[in-house]
Structure 1
Amino acid sequence: MDYKDYYKVLGVEKTATTDEIKKAYRKLARQYHPDVNPNDAAAEQRFKEANEANEVLSDPEKRQKYDQLGADYQRYQQAGGGRGGQAGGFDWSQYGQGGGFGGGSPFGGEGEDFSDFFSSIFGGAAPGGRSTRPGAGSDYQAELELTLEEAYHGGPRTITVQGKNLRLTIQPGVADGQTIRLRNQGGPGRNGGPNGSLLITFRILPDAHYARTGDDITQDVPVPLYRALLGGEQTVETLGGPIKIKLKPETANGSRVRLRGKGFPVYRGEGKFGDLYLRLNVQLPTHLTEAERDLIKQLAQLRDEN
């Protein structure tokens, strides 16, 4: 049974930070995910290897023990890999919780459905064997793209993971990069253990009309020149529906209007919303008629006289 270099699997250095490890894992998970590579055994294997490496390296305690284990495991192999708890002058019982490989997982594992290497060393089984203790299944990773409007309103969506259609209800106000956990929707448990979870990360697509900052929204609003000069009422289409605003006379181009409680819904904050900021862009008229030109000339003449 060969030693598994989890750093090599993820393509990171042994000095990699936790964030670098997570980033490398997510990149591989997206690249080799079974949903992206259906019926591709090689991609599925790479996906499983990445999951296993992340399981160890993303946990500080597990990673520390794995690092301690590395060179000693190679010595163990070279000495013939004896089962008696000692080989090559090295006492493996210091990694177990009851002595040797049979004394429990040095990583506190519960026999998860990983490789023989993981199970034999980290899952409490003897070399060449598998743990018979119940263990939780692997977690699945998935991403779900939403428009800003879909993130605003929430609602039911269907996502396909491992060939299985799952229906979920999205809560209004989800953010880009936010991850939710669906328990019992991951890999099957081992030896009667519970299934893993499905972790869904939301990706909110950019919007041409609205800019979101936290729970606040900024929106550009075109205002006709005459309404900016004279003031009046204007209807604005927002994510929450049309609203009417009143403009003061002589409203300057680029003016901002803040509407409290008209922004993005606060995630799981019943009835709570951020603010809506309107940027007023005064629009110059085009394709003027002769009558309109005459009126503008009169205005210019009046302004010059004053």
Structure 2
Amino acid sequence: MAFIDYYKTLGLTKSATEKEIKSAYRKLARKYHPDLNPDSKEAEKKFKEVNEANEVLSNAENRKKYDKYGKDWKHGEEQERAQRQYSNRSQQQSRSQGFNGGDYSDFFESMFGGDSSSSGFGSTPKFKGHDFNSELHLNLTDVYTTQQQILTVNGNKIRLTIPAGVENGQSIKIKGKGGPGINGGPNGDLYLKFVINNDTNFKREGQNLYKDVAVDLYTTILGGEITVDSFDSKVKLKVKPETKNLSKVKLKGKGFPVYKKEGKFGDLIITYRIKIPTSLSEKEIELFKELQKLQKK
């Protein structure tokens, strides 16, 4: 495997800070994202390289191994450990009954999951490929219902079903969609993080939604009926007489879908905000003065 300079891939030096790595990755991932470069094979290649570099350098432990082992960073410690364990075992066997070549194959089979034909002397064990990390940006309205999307990762198209109710920052694992395995080993996995932009006037907290609704002064004093928007429909509400400012009403089952629970929804919590009338006519001002006098009696 040819050596890849991950620092150079991100336009950084070996002394780069964690913050600099994160900033460089985000900038380049946006620049080369397949959705922004749908017909560019070069952009796909660059996007793959940027993700691979970030996977290694953004993880402190992976970065330490990379700095120490270079292109063999992922398996350097495993190979050293295998050699030490084999050496210890060989010495013990030599002292007790002499060297047995069959035990050598059995040892590497237990370590790396190979068979006797692929794990004998001079062969290279199989290893899982690199895991990939990526982000999928959606609007809140997109995840109110279950939907399907086709993603392009490492040049491959993946059809993904996104269940309703997925949360901002939530990650899922897509097995086998990472980097190719080494020496016939299994592919790595793809870890996909959801970044959800709230493009509505609702506030979301888990499965519940929150919304402020303006109610005119007269309705809050005398009571009445108003119509408010839920996330997907309109709802009529009765306002009780003498309703106070910032009073709350819970609409059960009118919130956001619960993740992977078909037909189950959270609640919608409405907060009433009294709207003070402005641009009063002379008649209205006179009536308010009359009310003021009555209050003082």
TM (normalized to structure 1)? 0.62
Aligned length: 257
Q: Which residue of 2 aligns with 1:53?
A: 53
2:167 matched residue in structure 1: 175
Deviations 1:163-191 (A, max 9, x none): 66544332222122222222244455565
How many percent of aligned residue pairs carry the same amino acid?
Answer: 46
Letter in 2 for 1:266: V
Flag structure 2 segments of 5+ consecutive residues without an equivalent.
85-110, 114-121
The answer as to 2:136 corresponding to 1:144 is: yes
Coordinate RMSD, CA, aligned? 4.5
Question: Partner residue of 2:95?
Answer: none
**Could you tell me which residue of structure 2 aligns to residue 246 of structure 1?**
238
**2:290 corresponds to 1:301:** yes
Moved more, 21-30 or 218-227: 21-30
Question: Where does residue 81 of structure 1 map in the other structure?
Answer: none
Contact 2:151–2:160 (Cα < 8 Å) also in 1: no
Cα distance change on mapping 1:282 and 1:68 into 2, 3 Å:
same
2:148 matches 1:157: yes
Calculate the TM-score normalised by the size of structure 2. Answer: 0.63
**What is the aligned counterpart of 2:215 among 223, 244, 249?**
223
**Change beyond 3 A, Cα 1:208–1:50:** closer
Q: What is residue 78 of structure 1 aligned with on the other side?
A: none
2:83 to 84, 89, 98: 98
Query: What are the Cα deviations for residues 36-78 of structure 1, in whole angstroms up to 9, with x where unaligned?
Result: 444353x4554444344344445555444333346xx9xxxxx
Q: CA deviation at 1:155?
A: 1.3
Task: Name the residue aligned to 1:232.
Answer: 224
Q: Which has the higher contact order (CA 8 A, sep 6+)?
A: 2
Matches within 5 A, 1:259-270: 259=251, 262-269=254-261
Name the structure where helix makes up a greater proportion of residues: 2
Cα distance change on mapping 1:159 and 1:94 into 2, 3 Å:
closer
SS in 1 for 2:66: helix
| Deviates further, 211-220 or 191-200 | 191-200
Query: Structure 1 CA distance, aligned partners of 2:178 and 2:4?
Result: 24
Q: Which runs of 5+ in 1 are unaligned?
A: 74-91, 100-107, 111-125
